[in-house]
Each structure stands twice: as structure tokens, then as C-alpha cells.
Amino acid sequence: MSHWETTTSARAMAIVYEQHYKTVGPFSGTAHITFLLDRTDDRSLRHRLLFLLRALMKDLANVEAYVLVGACVLAVNLLTVVHEASERTAIPLQSNLIAAMAFMEPLKEWMYIDKGAQIGPVEKRCY
């Protein structure tokens, strides 16, 4: 099965199960989906598998199968990775802001006359 077929199948299964979980009933491949999620390095497939697992959690039997294969540890590991990734993205943005501030022009001071009276200095930032 190609990458596109795998990710599309996982997405389709998630959509169908989300809508018809009562009709479909317990899913016998919950442990396998969890194993795939743990082993994949592909972000798009991991994303689709997470959506599928979210849909599968609507049935209590699937939740039990998920817990029995030790997936709670996987869930905690995923949360840790997501948390660390969100912290890493904030640092470059902060340093970019600091670097950008160094190149900004200083405030300009303006004076003008209104009805014979001198008004100012007024600061205006020029971009």
C-alpha cells in the first residue's frame, strides 16, 4: 500500500467510524493502530492515526484495548513531544523579534503649528 493510500485510508476510517461507531461496534484493530502510531516517523500518517484513535475511543471496548496494549505510556510520550516542540518554536520567534527591533528606526519627533501655536514635539513611528 502506498503512503497516500495508507493516510487516505486512515482518514476515511476515522470519518466513517466517527459517524457510525454504534453501527460498526468495537474495532478489532485498535492495538494494531496503536502499534502503527508508535512506530511511524511520518507526520501525516501519525496525524491521521491520532484522528482515527480519537474516533475509536467513542466505543468503550476500543478504549479497553487501547489501555491493555500500554498505549497510555505512548499518549504521555506524545504529549511530552508536543510540549517540547511548542517550546522550541517560541524561542526562534523571540530571537527574531529581538533581531528585528535592532533594525527598527527610532521614533521621529515632529512639531507643527496649529492656529498660530506651536504644537509638539509629537512622536510618530515610521515603518
Residue 40's contacts (CB-CB under 8 Å, 6 or more residues apart) are 46, 49
Query: What is the C-alpha to C-alpha distance for residues 95 and 116, in angstroms, rounded to an integer?
Result: 47
Exposed/middle/buried for residue 76 (C-beta within 10 Å: 0-12, 13-18, 19+): exposed
Q: Count CB neighbours of 9 within 10 A.
A: 13
25-44 tens-digit pLDDT: 999 998 899 888 888 889 89
DSSP 3-state of 118: strand
- Three cell numbers written together for 116: 498660530
Closest CA to 33 of 44, 46, 18, 17: 46
Residue 127 has pLDDT above 50, yes or no: no
49-78 tens-digit pLDDT: 999 999 999 999 999 998 898 888 888 888
Half-sphere exposure of 91 (CA within 13 A, CB side): 5
Whether the predicted model's global pTM rises above the 0.95 cut: no
